[in-house]
A and B are shown apart, each in its own frame.
Chain A
Amino acid sequence: MKTKLLLLAAMFISTACANMDMDKVLATAGKVAKGPAPVSEAQEIAMGRGIASNLLGAAPLLDNKPVQKYVNQVGRWLTLNAERPDLPWHFSVLDDEDVNAFAAPGGYIFITKGLLARMKSEAELAGVLAHEISHVLKRHHVEAIRKSTRTSLITGLAKDSLQQSGVSPVLTNLIGVGTELYARGLDKHDEYEADRMGVVIAARAGYDPYGLPAVLQTLQGMNPTHSNLALMFKTHPSLSDRLDLLDRAMSGSLDRFETQPDLAHRFTTVIGQ
């Protein structure tokens, strides 16, 4: 089975070689299996900015500069302990009672006031932000947009000149697809992967790595019919499955980080002021 796949990949590459110059083939070899029109980082960022703008059209920013700065400090510190530290990372609190968090391509992360208010420490905030950061690191949304879009649109994006002033119709279209993705959610395996990566990024940044599962347990204890949980529950795998998988993933592997701080005091000082 594996040999067949390798053979197929080799055939694909050699066919491609006939039509393209070698440099291009080498540059895209890693992405061959996913299609011929990769989305560049600049395009990813432009797409993410558009999606972020749309999210801000649905819910306003929390009007509290110290809280917004604090969430950015925690998030930006996390990104310095992961890949892609040079993306234009931004972390924002949305003034909305819903319990949810969102990642847009290129490094735009959002968390709702409703979720923030249910957290008890900086390690919990770090765990949730690190989960969202992981979606960006792995380009989960970009890939989901690619999969749910006609190939012609992606090819159109490749032809698009980003130097053009304003946002092109093709990009606008993809931004629309990306925004609607929040109502459908990602593949559950993307969510599990972001959970596994999130706890590691929190540990790397020096935090108690159990912040993310602690938040998931808090949500588990909420009334599941609560209207503010509806979208998050619809777009994510069950909390019990996520916690069960985190239990297996974390068991034994994070013991040496047990004594790292959760900075509950700093968190309540800023959030409770």
Chain B
Amino acid sequence: MKWKAIIFLGLLSSLSLAGLTQAGWAQAGEIAYTVRPTELKAKPFSDAVILARLEQRTKVEVIGRRSSWRQVQVDGKTGWIKMLSLTFNHSDRKAGDTGLATLFNVASTGSTGSSVTTGVRGLSEKDLKHTKPNPKALEVMDAYGVNKSEAQQFSKVGELSSQSMKYIAEPASGGKK
């Protein structure tokens, strides 16, 4: 399963967005940590059977996502955890994990092992301060535009249907953590 995913990602990175450094893939979506005591469920439903009760900061291996649930492997068990009960932040690791040492080394030497963009143009702070208008590219951008009926047709093909929902109010400060 994991190998398939890696092969798939490898393929994806070598395809049309060619030339991309895929440094993000190797680390992303793999190891995560629970941010609170969390139940490991047999299925991605809140009323599913509980397979295990995980402590805060339990290390898990993430293998998939279905809406608000992440499928994970932990202690030889495969199950589902609410995705926002997980963090992928490496600094949230338990002390003693070797990965943390690696991270600190990177921070102190400044070397990430990945290529650094050194192009003449780009989206760095400095580039943005010295940029000049590009009206030709603006015309190309205009030509890529999509009108309302094209967008509606696109949604039909994808079987997307409009739903109604109000915006969510700003959560009160404090509250649960």
Contact = CB atoms under 8 A, between A and B. Distances in A.
Interface of A: 49-50, 52-61, 64-65, 67-69, 72-77, 79-81, 85, 88-92, 94, 96-100, 108, 112-114, 116-118, 120, 122, 179-180, 182-183, 192-193, 196-197, 199-200, 203-210, 213-214, 217-228, 230-231, 234, 239-240, 243-251, 253-254, 257-263, 266, 268, 271-273
B89 A240 contact: yes
Given A50-B133, A205-B162, A221 B170 contact: no
B84 interface: yes
B98 interface: no
Contacts of B142: 90
B141 A218 contact: no
Nearest to B117: A97
Interface string B145-177: 111101110110011111111111011000111
Q: Is the interface of B mostly helix, strand, loop or mixed?
A: loop
A74 to B, nearest CB: 8
A196 B168 contact: yes
A266 B155 CA distance: 12
Contact of A207 (B23, B117, B150, B160): B160
A220 B131 contact: no
B151 A254 contact: no
B138 A96 contact: no
B29 interface: yes
Contact of A272 (B12, B90, B150): B12
Interface residues of B, number: 83
Contacts of A55: 128, 131
B95 interface: no
A112 B131 CA distance: 17
A81 B162 contact: yes
Given A117-B13, A223-B106, A253 B88 contact: no
A250 B65 CA distance: 16
Given A204-B165, A213-B84, A90 B16 contact: no
B68 A117 contact: no
A219 B132 CA distance: 30
A273 B18 CA distance: 10
A223 B158 CA distance: 34
Contacts of A197: 167
B123 A248 contact: no
A240 B123 contact: no
B173 to A, nearest CB: 10
Contacts of B114: 223, 226-227
B175 A248 contact: yes
Contacts of B138: 49, 52-53, 56
Contacts of B22: 117
A270 to B, nearest CB: 9
A118 B25 CA distance: 7
B17 interface: yes
Contacts of A183: 125, 128-129
A171 to B, nearest CB: 12
Contact of B137 (A61, A182, A225, A246): A61
Given A206-B155, A209-B67, A272-B11, 16 more contacts: A53-B133, A54-B131, A56-B138, A59-B123, A67-B17, A80-B162, A90-B142, A182-B123, A210-B68, A220-B89, A222-B28, A225-B110, A225-B112, A226-B112, A272-B12, A272-B16
Contacts of B148: 76, 80, 85
Contact of A248 (B86, B125, B162, B176): B176
Given A117-B13, A213-B84, A54 B160 contact: no
